[in-house]
Structures are given as structure tokens and as C-alpha cells.
Amino acid sequence: MTENDRKTKITFDDSLMRSVSADAFEVTLTREEIALLFGKSLTQSPRRDEISAMLKRHIVMSPFTFKRLALALNHIINSFSPVKVTHVKSDKKMPASSRTEKKPEKGRFLFQLIEDLHVGYGFEKSFKMAPKKLLGNRFLLAVNKKDTQQERILAICEQMDMPENFFETFKENLSDTNTVGFGFEKNERGCVYKIYLEFWDKIKKEVYYKVDKTEPVLLHLGFKWDALDNTKRAVARYTAFPLLSIKNILKRISTIYDALEERTPFEIAKGVIELASSRAVNEMFIYLEASEENNPRRSFDINLYKANLPLSALYPYLKKMCHHYSIPPEEFNLLYDQINTKTFGHLSAGIGKEGEDFLTTSYEIEAL
């Protein structure tokens, strides 16, 4: 099984293979890799509280590959064992204690729903900064609609306890969708589920036939609700402004911040976008503006993957934003040190649903 495609058939060349029998193992990990050590126990041990073993195999893999191995082993074990084995996930923020809970942790539960589709998916993580808040447990799993049956996607919505009125709207729009994104966010009050419909092919056709190629079009429809109380919910509309220049993008972003007396958030967002633009000369970035029903949210999202920037390139801007939001440097550095080599993806910022400004930075774990 590969990292990129669960359907890929692997043909092994076993000419150099040597089978070994192991009755001892150990798992070690760092931020970048997980190592499996297999060995054969020796008959004698120097200490009573220690087992001596002859090391036979040392296998190193990425956390994402290890997660897939764990799922495959779990599937095999469950096929002949009545005992439920908890699936191991690569998200290190999920506490070990949650593995024994009767009710699955909401983020882990969403991961399992997508894994059970047995299709490839994109995996993107993000962190959100706001006044005195740093939210690092946020992710998005994206699935191509063509890779699975529509009924299976609708079944996931039901298992996530999507509000009934959302479900009907979602179902009506699903046929026009290319990609479905399943999101999760842990915040100070609880956790939120999110599902996004993307209408990429539809808007490409619309833009093609329009005289004004920069006329705004709906690209995403987002459904968000409290994972523990789905009466707390909102629908978000993400409007794309095709083919805008960086100059015009910054003009639009500037108006979003007009309601704020402090211009620091705009200057930081502007700096990040200009840096990305300098690394991807003559590239057009996908720029969206978001709004939600019945709240003051007004924000933007810009896809900057084309710049191919590591998160480390953003450190000066993120450090300034920490200061602006009064986020303790040690709290931010604890998160940043784990992810600074990841590829920077989206910048989302503006005014949130509660009227306070925010900045969200996303980064890619696994491409769709």
C-alpha cells in the first residue's frame, strides 16, 4: 500500500527477500520518522527487568505511512478477532488516553470515516491565530467526488450528524461538485465539523463564456456546525475573484480591514502575499472572499501553494502576529518547531464571526 493511492497494486521483487521470525519489537519515533525494530529474544538476560533480543530488522517510515500500516493491520486483526482494536492516527495532538474512550474523539472519528472510503484523499492542516488564541488542532481531508459513490458521501454527512436542513442543501448541490472537503477544528469551547463543496469545473465553464473574466463566482459552499450540538451552525459562501492581479487582490483585502483601527493585520497579510508573489512570478493565485449568514464575518482566502514556500519563510510575519495577538512566544514556538519545514498553502484572514480579526495558515501533509 502506498502513501499516494490506496488502490495502487504493488508488485514486489522478492529476489533479495529474507524471512525472519520475531518475538520482540520496539517502536521509536521522532518528528520526521517512525522506526520499527524487530528481533528474536535471547534465552538469557543480564537483568530481570530487561529482555535481551537479537535485532533482525530495522524499518523506518514516515508517520503518514505508519498510519496506513496501522490501519491495514487493524483491518486484518478485526477480520478474525471479535475484540475492537482502536485505529492509530498520525495526528500527534490526539492524546493516548483517548484510545480507550467508549465514544471516539471527534477528530479521530472523522479520520476513520474518510479512511473507510478506501480512496485517496488530500490532507491539509492549519493553525489559527486570534487575540490571545492559538488553535493548532485543525485539519481538512479532501476527496474527489468521482472516486466514490455519492451515497457514501451522504452517509458520512449523516454519521457526522450534519443538521437536517444542511443535509438537504448539501445533497442538492453535490452533483455540481468536484471535491468534497471534510474539516475539523478544536477550539476553546469545543470542536467544529465542516464540510465544503467545491464547484471548480462549473465555474471554469462560467468564466470561459463571460466577457468580464474577473466577475466573482461561487467556488465553495461551506457547512459548519458544533460537533456536540448541531443547532449551533452556519453556512459560509466562498466567492472567487478570477484572474485578479496581486495589486487588485491587496486592494480588496485592504477594504476588509477598514473596520479595524489597527492596520497591523493587513500589513502582515500584505507582506506574506508579496513574498509569495516574488517567489512565483507571473503566476495567478486563487483569491476568495468568505461570508456567513447572520454574523459579521468578512474574510479572504488565497491559495499560495504555487510559491512553494516552507513555513519557515513566514516566521518573521508570524512572530509579529503573535505579538499583535498577545500569544506567548513559547506557545507558538512549540507548534512552529514541529511544522516549520512543511509547505505553506493557504492564507486566510479578516474579520471572524464574532467580530474579531484572525489569521489562519494552512500547510500540506498529503496532496490530493
Q: Where are the domains of the chain?
A: 1-68, 118-366
Does 106 or 68 have the greater pLDDT score? 106
Output the pLDDT for position 265: 95
Residue range 2-26: average pLDDT? 61
What Å distances lie between residue 225 and 82, 235, 353, CA to CA?
34, 9, 13
Q: Residue 12 — very low, low, confident or very high, per pLDDT cuts 50/70/90?
A: low
Output the pLDDT for position 31: 64
CA 155-157-162 angle, to 5 degrees, is 140
Handedness of CA 201, 207, 208, 214 (dihedral sign): negative
Q: pLDDT per residue over 164-223, tens digit each? A: 999 999 999 999 999 999 999 999 889 999 999 999 998 888 877 777 777 899 999 999
User: Is there a contact between 110 and 141 (Cβ–Cβ < 8 Å)?
Assistant: yes
Radius of gyration of the chain from its Cα atoms, rounded to whole angstroms: 23
Output the pLDDT for position 90: 37
Burial 184-198 (b: 16+ CB within 10 A, else e): bbbeeeebbbbbbbb
> What percent of the chain clears pLDDT 70, i.e. is strictly above it?
80
Q: How far apart are CA 87 and CA 347, in angstroms?
A: 32
State residue 295 phi and psi, 5-degree precision: -155, 165
User: Is there a contact between 311 and 363 (Cβ–Cβ < 8 Å)?
Assistant: yes
The answer on pLDDT for 239 being more than 60 is yes
Chain-centroid distance, C-alpha 302: 16
Mapped onto helix, strand or coil, the DSSP state of residue 232 is: coil
Q: pLDDT per residue over 79-91, tens digit each? A: 443 333 333 333 4
Q: Is 84 left (phi over 0), alpha (psi -120 to 50) or beta?
A: beta
Within 8 A by CB and 6+ apart from 313, the residues are 275, 344
Chain-centroid distance, C-alpha 76: 27
Residue type, 76: I
Q: pLDDT per residue over 212-227, tens digit each? A: 777 899 999 999 999 9
Q: pLDDT per residue over 245-284, tens digit each? A: 999 999 999 999 998 888 999 999 999 999 999 999 888 9
CA 258-261-267 angle, to 5 degrees, is 70
User: Is there a contact between 128 and 350 (Cβ–Cβ < 8 Å)?
Assistant: no
> What percent of the chain clears pLDDT 90, i.e. is strictly above it?
60
Residue type, 145: K
Q: How far apart are CA 26 and CA 6, in angstroms?
A: 26
Residue type, 148: T
Does 135 or 215 have the greater pLDDT score? 135
Output the pLDDT for position 336: 95
Handedness of CA 254, 255, 260, 261 (dihedral sign): positive
DSSP string, 196-227: EEE-HHHHHHHHHH-SSTTS-EEEEEEEEEES
In the chain the beta strands, taken as DSSP E runs, fall at: 24-29, 34-41, 53-61, 122-130, 133-144, 179-186, 191-198, 217-226, 233-240, 286-292, 298-303, 343-351, 357-366
Neighbours of 118 (CB within 10 A): 12
Q: pLDDT per residue over 60-73, tens digit each? A: 887 777 777 877 77
User: Is there a contact between 318 and 361 (Cβ–Cβ < 8 Å)?
Assistant: yes
Between 237-241, 288-292, 351-355, the lowest mean confidence (pLDDT) is in 351-355
Q: How far apart are CA 347 and CA 337, in angstroms?
A: 19
